[in-house]
């Protein structure tokens, strides 16, 4: 990577020697200054996951680290992946832009530019192969201009973080309607429904620019969602993505789940009124080939979270091809008055014996994705319990 420089408000934000005793940090062998900026140690696994995804992509990638703060995310991508051909940072904080450049220089990276600018204004005249949106809170105010920046390309990649999970998951339903134009659900499948609302929002904006979306991976972890996608130009691709938008209906009385183009007024199993979540994305959350490449790449790296990442990727691999919801075992047992709850592995085995597909899900340790309906799932719950000893 070439000589390092930094841009400020379309001018220059120079990296400078620090005299304020900024905090020195280290992540996966990369040393950097935190300064007075926010740095979340709990996001290390996410950054490792993201770097694996970047490494799984072919070709050379010009990369923008949006909302860069200290720059650790972009620095890791560039240091760990030879397909990152150039790296730019952008942040509305002048301190962040300068510090990101300094940290990149300190780690031997060249051809680095750090821009002090407001993200949307900056993206008006910029073009990259891969754009990272990692704001504090909702990515909604920045998604349009991020996707717009690909208007001259046939394809491109986006990585989007959302930490407003309380909105997407239904704790603040009016805010979700206002920001994401969808009705959320606040129940045991809230995290999957929330990330699918985010996918729908992104897909709709991509359609405006004649792009379809190809989800590469979707991560729900702790307090955030992280989605990765490939934009693919073409009216057929855009319409194909549009066709994957619909609703997930969830009956709180009997536990029936059903997806479709519209919400239901009446549960077909018990006759009660179900909750309808949507519109949301009903297509796949992960690309199987990408997940498998990430697993192989993880096996070659010495990440501190290597085992966790392998387990996480294995769960995602199993989620491909499953319905757009899951069953939370303990909540289902309470609803169906089945006690004690069975062991998860025993329940999965029973479902498979009955001819259903069944896997664990990364959304919760107590969740199972299966194509069994509520009646079949209820029988398996009851039949897989360990008998009480007298």
Q: What is the mean pLDDT of the chain?
A: 93
What pLDDT score does 305 carry?
Answer: 98
Q: Report the distance separating Cα 281 and Cα 362, nearest Å.
A: 18
In this prediction, residue 332 carries a pLDDT of: 97
Please list, in sequence order, all residues whose beta carbon lies within 8 angstroms of the beta carbon of residue 10, skipping any fewer than 6 positions away: 115, 117
User: In Å, what is the CA distance from 208 to each residue of 6, 235, 236?
Assistant: 33, 10, 13
* CATH numbers and ranges of domains, the chain: 7-288 (3.40.50.150), 326-390 (3.30.56.70)
d(CA 313, CA 47): 14
150, 127 contact by CB (below 8 A): yes
Largest CA distance in the chain: 78
Task: Give me the helices (H) in 190-326, please.
Answer: 190-208, 235-242, 288-300, 306-319
Sign of the C-alpha dihedral, residues 345, 350, 351, 356? positive
Band the pLDDT of 169: cuts 50, 70, 90: very high
* CB 223, CB 251: distance < 8 Å: no
**89-131 confidence digits (pLDDT tens):** 999 999 999 999 999 999 999 889 999 999 999 999 999 999 9
- Cα 64 from Cα 388, distance rounded (Å): 58
Residue 7, pLDDT above cutoff 80: no
The whole-number pLDDT of residue 325 equals: 98
pLDDT band at 22 (very low <50, low <70, confident <90, very high): low
SS3 50: helix
Cβ atoms of 363 and 220 within 8 Å: the answer is yes
Q: What is the DSSP letter of 169?
A: T
Find the range with the poorest average confidence among 171-175, 215-219, 248-252, 382-386: 382-386
Give the pLDDT band of residue 172 (cuts 50, 70, 90): very high
pLDDT at 37: 84
| pLDDT confidence band for 59 (50 / 70 / 90) | very high
What is d(CA 24, CA 76) in angstroms, rounded to the nearest whole number?
16
Q: Does residue 14 surpass a pLDDT of 70?
A: no
Residue 389: band (very low, low, confident or very high) from pLDDT cuts 50, 70, 90: very low
Q: pTM of the prediction?
A: 0.94
pLDDT for 4 beyond 80 = no
What are the b/e assignments for 317-336, b being 16+ CB within 10 Å?
ebbeebbbbbbbbebbbebb
What pLDDT band is residue 388 in, cutting at 50, 70 and 90? low
| Residue 41 CB neighbours (<10 A) | 8
The predicted pLDDT at position 11 comes to 40
Beta strands 112-116 and 7-8 are parallel
Give the pLDDT confidence of 271-320 residue by residue, as tens digits: 999 999 999 999 999 999 999 999 999 999 999 999 999 999 999 999 99
Angle between helices 306-319 and 44-56 (to 10 degrees): 60
Find, among 301, 293, 254, 292, the residue nearest to 274 by Cα. Answer: 254
Portion of the chain with pLDDT greater than 70, in percent: 93
């Amino acid at each position: 990577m070439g000589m390092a420089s930094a841009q400020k408000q379309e001018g220059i934000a120079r990296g400078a020697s620090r005299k304020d005793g900024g905090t020195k940090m280290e992540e996966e062998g990369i040393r950097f200054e935190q300064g007075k900026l926010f740095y979340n140690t709990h996001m290390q696994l996410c950054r490792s996951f993201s770097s694996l995804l970047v490494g799984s992509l072919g070709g050379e990638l010009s990369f923008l680290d949006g909302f860069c703060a200290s720059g650790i995310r972009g620095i890791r991508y560039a240091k760990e992946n030879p397909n990152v051909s150039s790296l730019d940072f952008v942040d509305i904080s002048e301190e962040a832009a300068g510090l990101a450049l300094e940290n990149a220089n300190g780690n031997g990276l060249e051809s680095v530019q750090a821009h002090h600018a407001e993200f949307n204004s900056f993206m008006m005249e910029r073009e990259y192969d891969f754009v990272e949106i990692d704001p504090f809170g909702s990515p909604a105010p920045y998604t349009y201009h991020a996707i717009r920046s690909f208007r001259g390309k046939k394809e491109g990649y986006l990585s989007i973080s959302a930490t407003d999970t309380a909105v997407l998951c239904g704790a603040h339903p009016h805010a979700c309607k206002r920001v994401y134009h969808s009705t959320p659900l606040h129940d045991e499948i809230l995290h999957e429904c929330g990330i699918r609302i985010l996918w729908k929002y992104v897909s709709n904006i991509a359609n405006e620019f004649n792009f379809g979306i190809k989800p590469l991976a979707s991560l729900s972890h702790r307090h955030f969602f992280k989605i990765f996608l490939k934009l693919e130009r073409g009216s057929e691709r855009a319409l194909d993505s549009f066709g994957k938008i619909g609703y997930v209906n969830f009956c709180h009385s009997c536990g029936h789940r059903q997806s479709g183009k519209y919400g239901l007024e009446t549960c077909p199993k018990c006759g009660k009124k179900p909750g309808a979540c949507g519109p949301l994305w009903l297509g796949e959350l992960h690309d199987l080939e990408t997940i498998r490449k990430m697993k192989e790449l993880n096996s070659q790296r010495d990440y501190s979270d290597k085992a966790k990442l392998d387990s996480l990727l294995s769960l995602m691999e199993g989620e491909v091809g499953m319905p757009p919801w899951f069953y939370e075992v303990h909540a289902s047992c309470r609803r169906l008055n089945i006690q004690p709850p069975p062991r998860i592995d025993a329940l999965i085995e029973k479902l498979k014996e009955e001819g259903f597909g069944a896997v664990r899900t990364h959304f919760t340790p107590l969740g199972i994705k299966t194509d069994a309906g509520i009646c079949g799932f209820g029988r398996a719950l009851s039949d897989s319990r360990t008998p009480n000893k007298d």
